[in-house]
Amino acid sequence: MRPVVDNPASERGRLAADKPGEFHFDSTLDYINFVAGAVRRSHMKYTNVAKGGGMSPTTVSNLASGKTHYPRFSTITGILGALGYETVIRGGRKSV
């Protein structure tokens, strides 16, 4: 069985979550690192992930390898959707 948490960014997201199996990210970089790790953990061919997410395989490869530092939001959500994740955006969580 492969670990769900394979890097510090994923661990921070898991610890910040309210429910088991969820990840909450306050940091954009942690979110991007989580997605890159999810692609690598999936062992899916980048062409299949790209097809499911509506992008080129090179885009998926560049994100998974760390070459892309600041991907478009549509790239992130497309990849996560292709991998079976749901993206939820909530406001009002931080206290001032």
CATH code, 27? 1.10.260
Q: Which residue has the higher pLDDT, 95 or 62?
A: 62
Mean pLDDT over each residue of the chain, to the nearest integer = 88
Q: What angle in degrees, to the nearest 10, is found between the helix axes of 57-65 and 73-82?
A: 100
C-beta of residue 53 within 8 angstroms of C-beta of residue 63:
no
Q: Which pLDDT score, from 0 to 100, does residue 91 have? A: 78
Residues sharing a CB contact under 8 Å with residue 50, sequence separation 6 or more, in sequence order: 56, 57, 59, 60, 82
Structural domain total, the chain = 1
Q: What is the pTM of this model?
A: 0.83
- In tens, the pLDDT along 12-58 reads 998 999 888 889 998 999 999 999 999 999 989 999 999 999 999 99
User: Within a domain: residue 21?
Assistant: yes
pLDDT at position 82 is: 96
Please indicate, yes or no, if residue 87 is contained in any of the structural domains.
no
Mean per-residue pLDDT, 56-85? 95
Domain assignment of residue 89, yes or no: no
